[in-house]
Amino acid sequence: MEQRFVLSNGVRVLIEDIPYVHSAAIGFWIDSGAKNETTEDNGISHFIEHMLFKGTPRRTALEIARSFEDTGGTINAFTDKENTCYYARVLAHHLPMAIDVLGDMLLHSLLDQGEVQRERKVILEEIKMYEDTPDELVYDLFSQIFWKDHPLGRAIVGTKKSVKEIDQDRLKSFLSANYTPDRLVVAVVGKVEPDRILDQLESLFGEWRSPGLTHLESEPQPQSSSLVKYKDIEQVHLCLGTKGVSITDTDRFALAFLDSILGGGMSSNLFQEIREKRGLAYSISTYQSLYRPGGIFGVYAGTSPSSLPEVIRLIVEEFEKVKSGLIREEELDRAREQLKGGILLSLEVPRHRMSRLARNELYYGRIVPIEEVISGIDKVQLSDLVRVANEIFQNRFLTATVVGPLRKFDFDPEKIGT
């Protein structure tokens, strides 16, 4: 049974008791990420995520790690564009320990000056590693030029310049402004006792108060653009994409169908057309990144430099087919079953259930029943796909980034296929 609670200071708590399992998954989700940063402190959310593992007055970094590892559990964290999450999985009887440690990290991390200096070096190495991974770098470059000056375009890890300038004072200031009770969602799934969890959380967070700040969001205005980044490698890595929809838009269901039909696996249209029929790429897939202000729908492909124009032409051809309604009912039905099956299978994993509860609260302010999601998928018709495709697959939005052995890349959506 899924339950929603609000602590006295505004912390939102989502709990699902699954009595037949032996473990519990817990996540502390902060409604703050890269989009909450300025250009000058780009990467600070990710920096803080690292620093919260570096010790509190009660625990050293090693003791934090051992608290979980010595009991067979795990602890980890991630930062994305809109959220930062600290999560753990433990045996059910170790859940009080997990709550205590995560809460201690959140409220009492030292942000020691020496640790800040050391971790800065680690993050700079992480940026270098990322820049040496072209099939990941190309996605980030796409976001940067697609969103342009909008906060969603900022790299989660930051830049070498911005990370070098982030100091202890900036970290403390950002933490104080963004890690507040009204922006914290705690999600717990597994063999749990809701009353005990609530009592512990109330004791842990009861004196913590929000500063009452207002956080404004602007709407991005994407326009067609292109970028090439030279790398002395064999392949070119391509992201070709367009605008998506907001994560709260009901058209997200239709977009999920397009994702499935065009690039959702080995049976998808792009995989069959570009890899299986023509052998032009080893890897090709679609992706969607949906946020509150808007989204991205994109295609990734790794191909040879000489094949790049042909791959782009074939991708755009598939876009045009969808816009013209050239999708068979059987494709629609397959996508429907694929989407529903993927959702239902994910519910077999407690951590996925925990993430679903937290994201429901962060984006919709409520627990969205699975039946409602399945109903949304069942309602999608071919006409919805055609309508959404015609809205997003427009030349004025088409954007491309390329990483590979090219110095120049001419991209004009109006001339593709001519």
Q: Which residues contact 293 (CB under 8 A, 6 or more apart)?
A: 150, 152, 217, 218, 219, 220, 246
Is pTM beyond 0.85? Reply is yes
Q: Given this model, what pLDDT does residue 149 score? A: 86
Taking the CA atoms of the chain, what radius of gyration do you get in angstroms?
Answer: 23
Question: What is the β-pairing status of strands 184-190 and 236-243?
Answer: unpaired
Examine the pLDDT at 212 and tell me if it is beyond 70: no
**All CATH 3.30.830.10 domain ranges in the chain, comma separated:** 2-205, 225-415
Q: Given this model, what pLDDT does residue 270 score? A: 98
CATH class label, 225-415: alpha beta
What one-letter code names the amino acid at 116? V
Name the CATH superfamily housing domain 2-205. Metalloenzyme, LuxS/M16 peptidase-like (3.30.830.10)
Q: Given this model, what pLDDT does residue 1 score? A: 87
Q: Which residues contact 221 (CB under 8 A, 6 or more apart)?
A: 148, 150
- Reported as a single tens digit per residue, the pLDDT across 116-175 is 999 999 999 999 999 999 999 999 999 999 998 899 999 999 999 999 999 999 999 999
Q: Given this model, what pLDDT does residue 409 score? A: 87
User: How many C-beta neighbours within 10 Å does residue 396 have?
Assistant: 11
User: How many C-beta neighbours within 10 Å does residue 166 have?
Assistant: 24
- Residues labelled catalytic: 49
Mean pLDDT of 182-197: 98
Examine the pLDDT at 215 and tell me if it is beyond 70: no
pLDDT, the chain, mean: 96
Contact 310, 280 (CB under 8 A): yes
Mean pLDDT of 248-252: 98
Contact 192, 14 (CB under 8 A): no
